[in-house]
Amino acid sequence: MLDRDQVLHVARLARLELTNDEVERLAAELSKVLDHIEKISELDLSGVPATSHVLDVVGALRADEPMPCLSPEAALASAPEPLEGGFGVPSPAT
Amino acid sequence: MSDDKRYEPVIGLEIHVQLRTRTKMFCGCPLSFGDPPNVHTCPVCLGLPGSLPVVNARAVHFGVMIGLALGSEIAERSLFHRKNYFYPDLPKGYQISQYDVPLCRGGRLGEVRIHRVHLEEDAAKLNHLGESGRIHGADRSWVDFNRGGTPLVEIVTEPDIHSPEQAREWLTLLRTTLRTLGVSDVDMSQGSLRCDANVSIRPTGSGELGTKTELKNMNSFRFLEKGVRAEIERQVGLLESGEPVVQETLHFDPTLGRLTPLRSKEEAHDYRYFPEPDLVPLLVTEELRAGAAAEIPELPAERAGRFERELGLSPDRARDFAFRAELGDYFEQALAEAAAAVAGDGARGANGAPGAVDPVELANWIPQLVERIGSETDPADSKVAPSSLATLAAMVKAKEVSREAARDVLTRLVREGGDPRAVVQREGLGALSGEHQLVEVVDRAIASDPAAAEQLRTGNMKAIGPLVGYVMRETKGRADGKEVARLIRERVNTRS
Amino acid sequence: MSGELVELTATAAAERVRVGELDPRELFEAYRERAAADHLNAFTWVADATPATVASDGPLGGVPVAVKDLFCTRGVPSQAGSRILEGYRPPYTATVVAKLARAGAPLLGKTNQDEFAMGSSNENSGFGPVLNPWDRGRVPGGSSGGSAAAVAAGLAPWAIGTDTGGSIRQPAALCGIVGLKPTYGACSRYGMIAFASSLDQAGPLTRDVTDAALLLRHMVGHDPCDATSVEFPGEIATPRAEHLRGIRLGVPEELTTAGAGVEPGVRDSFEATLALAEALGAVVEPCRLPHAPHALSAYYLIAPAEASANLARFDGVRYGLRVDGDADLISMYSRTRAAGFGAEVKRRIMLGTYALSSGYYDAYYGTAQKVRTKISEDFKAAFERFDFIVTPTSPWTAFELGAKADDPLAMYLNDFCTVPMPLAGIPAISIPSGLAGGLPVGLQLTGPAFSESRLLDTAYALERAIGFDGRPARR
């Protein structure tokens, strides 16, 4: 149901590098899971609204008041590559 | 050319506005500009594990103000959505934005319809090491999260714009409107106002839409106009050579002054939008809406109407002054100061200006001022105080100085500042309009050009030009042009 | 002495501390030693010393609490059971943990869990599986397997975990202890490393219902840092019911029969408990939850979809593991995530990404959210006739380590009875109902939103009647 190309496409969207074995395995596993899940398409759900929030709560807002920030040291404490006071990364291609 | 009548440009704008709240959209970090990197961060805007967003009430307030000012329909209930993609300036790997249930729909500003208005958070700032800070050629980049999470309003127009000039003018109107509302600094050079354009062309008269391209990174009004014009020309060129326009994103490069395609967009983004589960639906109560409405001051369109109705300005002039707030502000300031001067001093103003200034006359002088200081400068920043311009206008109206001489005075005021009365006195530019002063010069003019004089006598009105010119030169522009013309016509017929 | 100390329930210990009969530092040390000697791999971090002072006047009496690894604890490793966060020490503490500390429950240690709360056997941890104290060749359940095993083995007086599809209740059932998932929004999620945002809830894992009520009382409450949290109406009462007269219990056939996959041993224990309930005066009748059989499918679309977005922040940029930082950006992202995430996490990220992707949203995620609406409606309708709905917690008892490792779908079926409740946002509790083949069986009770006090009360009455005193053999 889910072929190799689809798996590779989804892996790319999710930024997951997969080995060939993993691609094969995932294709099989996900297909099996999706087969089972697909049964919900048999239900008659016409006119049923989707639940986007299970809580019956709306409008939680925050006053526009400044709160204490982390110090730059604390912010960068776990940074794999502190650089120029910021978080170093390889430059994006675009 | 973009003036090519065979094709009609179809332009829509997508504008991002940074809001002037005190704190970020989803956390309490203060907004900052020009601070050292990463001094205004917290678990939320850094995207640390376990952190959660909470909506800034003032950002919603500003968003509703914008929607009301644009005549949009404000949704009583709207949703935030996650827009998913990976980029270093996006700490959560998704942006919290609004998708198919936005805060506002529809509306109109001037001639352009609004498609939608919604709230979202700004990305962080990605900096590049390497030459000139541009991406290409840089090895390492680094991220500063101070800006990340700044509240943004995104405004999307319908494709109702049909020329680069119109794009620029309309964006100016939008900018004035937002500035008047006080919701943003709307400074393109600082990034608090950003504008992308969607551009397509179609044969004039066609009802179908052509393929559109997306133009990004035009960070000034000038570049916007330039970029849009360049793209229209490029598309015309393509169609003319039988090639199709391909949907793509083009990046305006200010140093090159032109658009280049954005490289390596190998896959179009699949943003996989879904409702943000960490936020509950946004409710705009009647109270919130009324609160926002109460804070909306006179907007440009209303101001233009008032200038026309109450001050007698022509519709075009009224629009110009209302849609460029700096001009309108300066104009009203000058009027107010002149009126105050009169009120305090009876019939003559403190600076001697006789009576309050005529708004229409004063209005004539603002474009003159703008011409001399450049259209990018705020008149309030020039050396010409509003009261000085008002005085000058009053002097012209009272024929104390000729219109032509007054232009000279204005040039001097722009250069040196000061009081126009003093300049006139010092330079001897007072009006010459008395007959006894002018007759002699007029006679000399007629004598100097008998051919013109003869033409005039036979009824060719255009022949008066050289004669008027002679008098103006001789009088160094101090004579009143109309008066000169009248005298010439009179004298030409009394002498033969 | 320490042997006796750890026999006390948390409530009893807290009481003794408060009246001055017990030194909380002594209590802490007793547990700390046991936790440090843990042979079940239940802990990923244990306090290396007893704190200099332990407040004794708080309502929780200085009784230390074990906290699931995914709760951020400032300066202390908070890894969510994942290698991608190995050694990560956050600069802030989760609200719920801070509340408990203020109420007098200091941090004993961080417990092992399935990676990012994805799993029902605790075999998916990046730090090794947790073993069931009843049989160390078997799983303790998951994803809060460490918390459950620690409490069951007497390595902690009580613990907190999180429940998204059953991750508190199911391990509680498999380990023979009490576990409760509160109403969605009752406890703050701020500082809980997220799995599925619309489902996750923090909750207590304890030796008995009384302890669960006490701990829960100090966990609930609106948090301005969590827009989805609400003020809990009223206070969580101390349970004291001695009978069940006037209580109507509904038994949904969709979740309780052999046809639903429930094993005979579990079924027998379940039936026996229903009989006890009737003896206590409850009215026990069948009820229908027509969409319950589809809850698993809806859950395995919604949870992975939300997780796929929640886990996108693990990209090697700001914290955690980074692999191949010298490669291009996309390779760094992809290899970091490939190296840092385990197989189950990758599976769910893939599933979730697919369910949200262009062209598939309506059929998968969109449809699942509609099924969710129907499930909520089913419960609402049922609660018009019944006070609570009762089911087995898990269709089977603790299975052997590795028994379901090759079959993700089989693993997902562990959650069959527990996923409908988080989809509806309603609370549910699991209490031990007996043994089957020498292994604990759990009974699940679920009620309407914010019915925790009455739920606990009913569970208390049943607990008394059941008289489960099974303990795994102590080492």
Indicate the DSSP class of residue B373: H
Q: Which three-class secondary structure state does DSSP give residue A89?
A: strand
Residues of chain B contacting C92 with CB distance shorter than 8 Å: 43, 48
Local confidence band at B301 (pLDDT 50, 70, 90 cut-offs): confident
How far apart CA C70 and CA B139 sit, in angstroms, is 35
Residue B375 has a pLDDT of 83
Q: Alpha carbon B193 to chain centroid distance?
A: 12
Residues of chain C contacting A48 with CB distance shorter than 8 Å: 370, 373-374
The pLDDT of C113-120, averaged and rounded, is: 98
Positive or negative torsion for Cα B325, B330, B335, B340: positive
Residue B268 has a pLDDT of 66
| Tokens 């001055």 -> residue | C20
Give me the torsion for CA of A47, A52, A57, A62, rounded to 10°: -140
Which CATH architecture fits A1-42? Answer: Orthogonal Bundle (1.10)
Using the CB atoms, write b or e for C192-216: b if 16+ within 10 Å.
bbbbbbbbbbbbbbbbbbbbbbbbb
Residues in CB range of C403: below 8 A, 6 or more apart? none
Residues in CB range of C287: below 8 A, 6 or more apart? C250, C251, C252, C382, C385, C386, C389
B85 CB neighbour count, 10 Å cutoff: 15
C-alpha distance across the termini of chain B, in Å: 55
How far apart CA B76 and CA B341 sit, in angstroms, is 50
Alpha helices, H only, C143-229: 145-152, 169-175, 209-217
C-alpha distance across the termini of chain C, in Å: 16
Q: Choose among A71, A85, A94: nearest Cβ to B135.
A: A94
How far apart CA C366 and CA C385 sit, in angstroms, is 30
- Residue A46 contacts C where some CB pair is shorter than 8 Å: no
Model pLDDT for residues C164-221, shown as the tens digit of each residue: 999 999 999 999 999 999 999 999 999 999 999 999 999 999 999 999 999 999 999 9
Q: Which residue has the higher pLDDT, C175 or B477?
A: C175
| Whole-number Cα distances in Å, C404 to B92, B117, C113, C120 | 33, 51, 17, 10
Q: Which three-class secondary structure state does DSSP give residue B488?
A: helix
Task: Flag if A16 and C372 touch (Cβ within 8 Å).
Answer: no
The share of chain A scoring above pLDDT 90, in percent, equals: 81
Query: A29: closest CA among C350, C20, B193?
Result: C350
| Tokens 């907007």 -> residue | B299
The catalytic residues of C are: 68, 143, 167
The share of chain B scoring above pLDDT 70, in percent, equals: 92
Instruction: Supply B260's token pair.
Output: 């280049």
Residue B252 to chain C, least CA–CA distance (Å): 24
Search chain A and give the residue with CA nearest B129.
A91
- Tell whether the model's pLDDT for residue B265 goes beyond 80: no
How far apart CA C358 and CA B272 sit, in angstroms, is 6
Residue B264 has a pLDDT of 45
Task: Flag if B54 and C224 touch (Cβ within 8 Å).
Answer: yes
Residues of chain A contacting C291 with CB distance shorter than 8 Å: 43
Residue B1 has a pLDDT of 47
Residue C333 to chain B, least CA–CA distance (Å): 9
Residue C325 has a pLDDT of 87
Query: B201: closest CA among B193, B191, B214, B210?
Result: B210
Burial class (CB in 10 A: 0-12, 13-18, 19+), A72: buried
Contact C88, C70 (CB under 8 A): no
- Tell whether the model's pLDDT for residue B2 goes beyond 60: no
- Residue B57 contacts C where some CB pair is shorter than 8 Å: no
The domain limits of chain A are 1-42
The share of chain C scoring above pLDDT 70, in percent, equals: 99
Search chain B and give the residue with CA nearest A16.
B86
Q: Is B41 left (phi over 0), alpha (psi -120 to 50) or beta?
A: beta
DSSP run (H or E) holding B83: strand B81-84
Provide DSSP, C306-372. HHHHHGGG-SSSSSS----TTS-HHHHHHHHHHHHS-HHHHHHHHHHHHHHSTTTTIIIIIHHHHHH
Instruction: Supply B62's token pair.
Output: 């500003």
Instruction: Supply C63's token pair.
Output: 């009784």
Task: Flag if C326 and A90 touch (Cβ within 8 Å).
Answer: yes
Task: Flag if C228 and B277 touch (Cβ within 8 Å).
Answer: yes
Q: What are phi and psi of B412, to 5 degrees?
A: -65, -40
Residues in CB range of C455: below 8 A, 6 or more apart? C180, C388, C427, C428, C429, C445, C446, C447
The pLDDT of C380-393, averaged and rounded, is: 98
Q: What is the 3-state secondary structure (H, E, C) of C241-255?
A: CCCCCCCEEEEEHHH
- Tell whether the model's pLDDT for residue A73 goes beyond 60: yes
Using the CB atoms, write b or e for C267-286: b if 16+ within 10 Å.
bebbeebbebbeebebebee
How far apart CA B208 and CA C307 sit, in angstroms, is 42
- Tell whether the model's pLDDT for residue B488 goes beyond 90: no
Residue A78 to chain C, least CA–CA distance (Å): 5
Q: Which residue has the higher pLDDT, C413 or C72?
A: C72
- Tell whether the model's pLDDT for residue B349 goes beyond 50: no
Search chain C and give the residue with CA nearest B49.
C193
DSSP run (H or E) holding B260: strand B258-261
Q: Which residue has the higher pLDDT, C391 or B450?
A: C391
How far apart CA B191 and CA C109 sit, in angstroms, is 47
A67 CB neighbour count, 10 Å cutoff: 15
Strand C283-287, strand C248-252: pairing: parallel
Residues in CB range of A4: below 8 A, 6 or more apart? A23, A24, A27
How far apart CA B328 and CA B316 sit, in angstroms, is 13
- Tell whether the model's pLDDT for residue B487 goes beyond 80: yes
Model pLDDT for residues B27-71, shown as the tens digit of each residue: 999 997 889 999 999 999 999 999 999 999 999 999 999 999 999
Which CATH architecture fits C2-242+447-474? Answer: Alpha-Beta Complex (3.90)
Query: B156: closest CA among B188, B95, B197?
Result: B197
Query: A89: closest CA among B429, C180, B90, B295?
Result: B90
Cis-peptide, bond into residue C143, ω within 30° of zero: yes
Strand C388-392, strand C439-446: pairing: antiparallel
Q: Which three-class secondary structure state does DSSP give residue A43?
A: coil
Alpha helices, H only, C114-252: 145-152, 169-175, 209-217
Strand B282-283, strand B274-275: pairing: unpaired
The pLDDT of B143-160, averaged and rounded, is: 98
Q: Where in chain C is the domain with CATH 3.90.1300.10?
A: 2-242+447-474
- Residue B278 contacts C where some CB pair is shorter than 8 Å: yes
- Tell whether the model's pLDDT for residue B350 goes beyond 50: no
How far apart CA A79 and CA C322 sit, in angstroms, is 10
Model pLDDT for residues C144-175, shown as the tens digit of each residue: 999 999 999 999 999 999 999 999 999 999 99
- Tell whether the model's pLDDT for residue B146 goes beyond 90: yes
How far apart CA C115 and CA C123 sit, in angstroms, is 9
Model pLDDT for residues B251-262, shown as the tens digit of each residue: 888 778 788 887
The pLDDT of C49-70, averaged and rounded, is: 96
Residues in CB range of B316: below 8 A, 6 or more apart? none
How far apart CA C422 and CA C426 sit, in angstroms, is 6
Between A and C, how many CB-CB pairs are < 8 A?
154
